[in-house]
Chains A and B, each alone.
Chain A
């Protein structure tokens, strides 16, 4: 864990070859035109190091998902630049895996074929893609369900399949858009631990969007707090709680301290956003 420092420069050379550093440089994302235009993301900048686990924390509608979509290449920045290992992002790519709030599994494919989909698209043969799929299903603990239809699985299991499917492309970066938001508390806690384990094993960069403070602190090396209207990074919180983390860290004094700080920032920011909304509504 010690080698997982926050700065790419400090990483051993062989690891930096694997890459996965993200540069967000003065990025704005504006929807619509003229009078009806809406600024979803407003001049946001951040550097995310290769192998880092970063949470983007903010209220609903603050533009955090839009920003994540832009990193994925599903959305285009209206201005500014998003880059991965120095290369500007122009569209989706297999080196950036993404997990959505809904599992979005292909209902006409078995669990195995869902996971094998990415490797097949990048030109691997069926047999090889299936082998990759089985390996990843093993990793998320669903090897026994490879031949099942996705619809027959529970929500948590479906989301694990979605994670396996995103990882099957051996991406350098995993983007996660409130992936556990629809799950019950127990399942969510289990999924979070499982995710940390996978991240530890693979050493990839994870950018995880959430509105849940506890989730962000439990998972992240660093939390980027985003505010609404327009979406901006307002604070950055480093989470120095040592790893591996178990759910018990929730009562660790350091956890409590980070949480106190975060909540304070969020409260201040929501109050400010609320004032602003009132003002603009009244004017």
Chain B
């Protein structure tokens, strides 16, 4: 684009490349469009070919029927709602608390010295390892599920907020100081917005974490939910239902991730 307009030779050479790029793009799009149908087609074919046990490895059509029955029974909506509520409650609590405490420990050494050693000790413990103890503490009710998701989210968000505040560009802090920012407004005016991009990276990671913690929580014992349904279907050898459960988990967590990405784009538009 920066070439001189008077070099006809250059633009002449650019022409075939552009056409070539057009052909390449069409091919790319075609492959993209074919990807999923090809995947499901192959799956259907292999399942029905007799090479594998069709009971254990049902074709997508069977999964679709199972999903439809699940929906029609009204149970899907309940399972979906229960799972979503667990993720949302645990995530929101963990995110808010993690961000607030992370900003405080990142900003004030005294608070950090008090809390960081404890958090660093607890953070590496996988939330799933807490399942047995949580059942004893909270039983099979909702609180235990909230707690597990919260546990998974909290530390991730805490670390990202803590580091985020500490990594705010020093140039910006100095600029703010010479512009007359009082110390007590530095956090809100500069450190918080400066740390926000880091916090959002942590939050997005936490979206996936909260879903896998949810699965562990539901498998451990509950009375509804997407992962619970997979567990029940296994006991009845309903392979279609099980795979349908997987599909639903995939869809909901992918949708949550995408939604979050859009939300993040809106909030931290500058990064």
List B contacts of A151 (CB < 8 A). Answer: 270
Q: How many whole Å from A123's CB to the nearest CB in chain B?
A: 10
Stretch at the interface among A19-27, A94-102, A130-138, A252-260: A94-102
Q: How many whole Å from B249's CB to the nearest CB in chain A?
A: 35
Q: How many whole Å from B159's CB to the nearest CB in chain A?
A: 22
Given A104-B171, A107-B271, A149-B270, A92 and B178 contact (CB-CB distance below 8 Å): yes
| Contacting pair B180 A100 (CB below 8 A) | no
Complex Cα distance, B156 from A68, in Å, reads: 41
**Smallest CB-CB separation from B171: which chain A residue?**
A104
Number of B interface residues in the complex (CB < 8 A): 22
Given A100-B171, A102-B171, A72 and B271 contact (CB-CB distance below 8 Å): no
Given A108-B196, A151-B270, A121 and B182 contact (CB-CB distance below 8 Å): yes
| Contacting pair A166 B174 (CB below 8 A) | no
- For the complex, is B172 an interface residue (Cβ under 8 Å from A)? yes
List A contacts of B185 (CB < 8 A). Answer: 121
Taken residue by residue from 47 to 62, chain A's Cβ proximity to chain B (1 for < 8 Å, 0 otherwise) reads as 0000000000000000
List A contacts of B172 (CB < 8 A). Answer: 104, 106
Taken residue by residue from 167 to 180, chain B's Cβ proximity to chain A (1 for < 8 Å, 0 otherwise) reads as 00101101111111
**Smallest CB-CB separation from B177: which chain A residue?**
A92
- For the complex, is A203 an interface residue (Cβ under 8 Å from B)? no
- For the complex, is A87 an interface residue (Cβ under 8 Å from B)? no
| Contacting pair B179 A169 (CB below 8 A) | yes
Q: How many whole Å from B184's CB to the nearest CB in chain A?
A: 11
- For the complex, is A118 an interface residue (Cβ under 8 Å from B)? yes
Q: How many whole Å from A22's CB to the nearest CB in chain B?
A: 15
- For the complex, is B61 an interface residue (Cβ under 8 Å from A)? no
Complex Cα distance, B193 from A73, in Å, reads: 24
Given A104-B171, A104-B172, A106-B172, A72 and B193 contact (CB-CB distance below 8 Å): no
Complex Cα distance, B171 from A166, in Å, reads: 14
Complex Cα distance, B185 from A94, in Å, reads: 15
- For the complex, is B64 an interface residue (Cβ under 8 Å from A)? no
- For the complex, is B265 an interface residue (Cβ under 8 Å from A)? no
List B contacts of A149 (CB < 8 A). Answer: 270
| Contacting pair A100 B175 (CB below 8 A) | yes
**Smallest CB-CB separation from B170: which chain A residue?**
A104
Q: Which of chain B's residues 190-222 have a Cβ closer than 8 Å to chain A? A: 190, 193-194, 196
Complex Cα distance, B172 from A102, in Å, reads: 10
Q: Enumerate chain B interface residues (CB-CB to A < 8 A).
A: 169, 171-172, 174-182, 185, 189-190, 193-194, 196, 268-271
Q: Closest 7 CB pairs between A and B?
A: A94-B180, A104-B171, A104-B175, A98-B178, A107-B270, A118-B179, A92-B177
14 A–B contacts from the bound complex (CB under 8 Å): A73-B177, A92-B178, A102-B171, A104-B171, A104-B175, A106-B175, A108-B194, A108-B269, A117-B176, A117-B179, A118-B179, A118-B180, A121-B185, A169-B180
Q: Enumerate chain A interface residues (CB-CB to B < 8 A).
A: 72-74, 92-94, 96-98, 100, 102, 104-108, 117-118, 121-122, 149, 151, 162, 165-166, 169, 175
